[in-house]
Amino acid sequence: MSNIGSYDERVKNFSWTIAEKELGYKPGDVINIGWYCTDRICEQGKGSKVALHWEGHTGVEKTYTYNDIRLATNTIGAFLRGLGLKDGERVCLFMDRIPELYLGFLGILKIGAIAQPLFSAFGDESLFVRLSNAEASAVITQKKHAPKVRKILEKLPHIRHIIIVDHDGVAPLKDREVAFSLEKSAPVEHFDIHPTKAESASVLHYTSGTTGMPKGVKHVHYSLISQYLTAKWALDLREDDIYWCTADPGWVTGTSYGIIAPFAIGVTQCVLDAGFSAEAWYKWIEKRRVTMWYSAPTAIRSLMKAGDEIVKKFDLSSLRHLASVGEPLNSEAVVWSEKVFGMPFYDTYWQTETGSIVIGNYPGMEVRPGSMGKPFPGITGTVLDPVKNEPLPTYGKIGLVALKFDWPSRMRTYWNNEEAFQKKFRNGWYITGDRSKIDKDGYFWFAGRDDDIINTAGHLVSPFEVESALLEHPSVAESAVVSKPDPINLEVVKAFVTLKPGFAAGKDLDLEIMNFIRKKLSPLAMPQEIEFVPSLPKTRSGKIMRRILHAKEWGEEIGDTSTLEND
């Protein structure tokens, strides 16, 4: 029997107080995610249970019990407080998936500060924009990533501390840097956790927008309620599970379901800090006897590409339940997983802004391969007519995916950008930016984005941000960035570029521009293809018409070109 039992019954009798009661929370109480994920589990007598099995790419392994992570997060919290960091300040985590990332996240929350996790592959420009917007007071990082912070430090006066967690003393510390070693620090047994309340800010994740710079999505400690219950019901996570979430905590899946929910439930989590390889992943599942595996369509398609034979080399019989997130899971992948693992991947749908799963396929419910599933109990979802902004009256018509904005983990605002936050609503509905249809049984079917945002391997990339960065390359006169189809990543970034006089298109320039963007923004934002063109399609008022280029890439109708310049 699954945790959710009957989906229909849960919908009928739903209240978020189910989660509140299980967590022992009452409105008005102190609620601190750091405490719920560590101290509470220990107080239940489970301090000796393994909380985290971690393995690095060199094969180094570390194991932490719940008591270990309680002490470690206390120790980190005490260190941060000792530096003068206080509640409400933003503390950035800029690290690979090492234990200090997971423990640092909870340590930050324990002092009431706001954790700002950033993907460690970000280049200096991506890092600068996000740190600057958040006005972060400190960055916790590794010595390998510190040079990127140093490069932009002069422009970030609000940063008081750069905390290096693996300083070996070989190179001297530089301006504002301080060393911290979790292993060499005396464990802090007793720690006064900051008495955060439901609406106290907890996490700031950055997400890309169609126009303008990335936006900081503000979440609060009360998000725990949604994250806890969705992990139990949608992911069917149980206390005795050995759980592997493959997402990086630089992104929201990696914190909501890679830190908060699993530790709050008290499961044993596994983290493999290594690049992708089918063999290494299957070996990890076999070695750790993983029972619940939460991954992403890009990874699943990469495993499909590696073939069926390799699966047979490993004992994967421990697997009990599989789920996927990040981008639509194609029906072929669902069918394939049933064939090779004996069970489907259950697709789940949510966003940085939603903080937790809002639509999904649930255990016990019929999985319709390719479908997003149905709204989580307690969540009202619909598709809106894009003109009238009202729910479409008939089934099967494509509209805007919209939600009633009333569940615990919804974002509270965009950091320093309330105006952008308000623009996310129409007629009382939160507009996700995705399009879908609903079938007669209530299943949602993804139909694409409603804007120019590129979803590559489950990560959103803003064409505006890439175009802005391209213009900083000395050869680029103008650029237009669109998505192009990709069999593994769903979409990848493609750039159309016109060159300044004196520059000639060629393979070396192409590679130089690719690497320029990779280092400045991130590998995800790097155009996988650059097409040098003599001019870009523009309206008569001079606006670049991305949609024409997009339509050509996707083999779609170009549509109305009446405003096209020189057509």
The site for other proteins (CB under 8 A) is made up of 57-58, 96, 121, 143-145, 147-148, 171, 273-277, 279-280, 302, 306, 456-457, 507-508, 510-511, 514-515, 518, 523-524, 526, 528
Count Cα atoms within 13 angstroms, Cβ side, for 342. Answer: 8
Does residue 508 sit in helix, strand or coil? Answer: helix
Q: How far is the CB of 301 from other proteins (least distance, A)?
A: 11
Residue 471 pairs with which residues in a beta bridge? Answer: none
Q: Which residues contact 316 (CB under 8 A, 6 or more apart)?
A: 282, 285, 286, 341
- Output the smallest distance, CB 144 to other proteins, in A: 5
CB of 130 to other proteins, least distance (A): 19
Q: Which is nearer to other proteins, 145 or 435 (CB)?
A: 145
Side chain identity at 19, as an amino acid letter? A
**How many angstroms separate the CA atoms of 547 and 564, rounded?**
11
Are 347 and 366 a contacting pair, CB within 8 Å?
no
Give the CA distances from residue 153 to residues 39, 168, 514, in Å, rounded to whole numbers and listed in that order.
36, 22, 25
CB atoms within 10 A of CB 58: 7
Closest CA to 529 of 563, 567, 564, 479: 479
- The residues, any chain, with a CB within 8 Å of residue 134's CB and separated by 6 or more, are 90, 92, 116, 204, 206, 216, 415
Return phi, psi of residue 92, to 5°: -85, 140
Of 53 and 81, nearer to other proteins (C-beta) is: 53
Q: Cβ 97 to other proteins, closest distance in Å?
A: 9
| Cβ distance to other proteins smaller for residue 302 or 389 | 302
- Can you list the pairs that 486-491 forms with residues at least 24 positions away whose Cβ atoms lie under 8 Å? 486/456, 486/528, 487/301, 488/298, 488/301, 488/302, 488/305, 488/457, 489/298, 489/456, 489/457, 490/297, 490/298, 490/327, 490/328, 490/455, 490/456, 490/457, 490/458, 491/454, 491/455, 491/456
The nearest distance, CB 277 to other proteins, in angstroms, is: 5
Work out how close the CB of 439 gets to other proteins at its nearest, in angstroms, rounded to a whole number.
34
Least separation in angstroms between CB 423 and other proteins: 30
Closer residue to other proteins (CB): 96 or 241: 96
Q: Which stretches of 5-123 are DSSP H helices?
A: 7-12, 17-23, 33-37, 39-41, 66-82, 99-110
In the complex with other proteins, the residue whose CB is nearer, 58 or 566, is: 58
State the DSSP H helix or E strand holding residue 218, giving kind and residue range, or none if neither: strand 215-220
**Tokens matching residue 173:** 């510390």
Shortest Cβ distance from residue 262 to other proteins (Å)?
A: 22
Q: Is 451 left (phi over 0), alpha (psi -120 to 50) or beta?
A: beta
Question: In the complex with other proteins, which residue's Cβ is closer, 171 or 471?
Answer: 171
User: Residue 440 CB, nearest distance to other proteins (Å)?
Assistant: 39
Closer residue to other proteins in complex, CB, 344/527: 527
Please state the closest distance from residue 302 (CB atom) to other proteins, in A.
8
Dihedral in degrees, nearest 10, Cα atoms 327, 406, 200, 125: 30
DSSP 517-565: HHHHT-TTTS-SEEEE-S---BBTTS-B-HHHHHHHHHT------TTBT
- Provide, rounded to whole angstroms, the least separation between the CB of residue 529 and other proteins: 9
Give Cα 474 distance to the centre of its chain: 33
For other proteins, the closer CB: 310 or 447: 310
CB of 372 to other proteins, least distance (A): 25
Dihedral sign of CA atoms 77, 100, 347, 322 in order: negative
Give the whole-angstrom CA distance, residue 356 versus residue 359: 9
Give whichever of 21 and 174 is closer to other proteins, judged by the CB atom.
174
Nearer to other proteins, 24 or 147 (CB): 147
Of 273 and 451, CB closest to other proteins? 273
| Cβ nearer to other proteins, comparing 157 with 172 | 172
Q: How far is the CB of 58 from other proteins (least distance, A)?
A: 7
- Token match 């719920």: residue? 36
Q: Which is closer to other proteins, CB of 16 or CB of 314?
A: 314
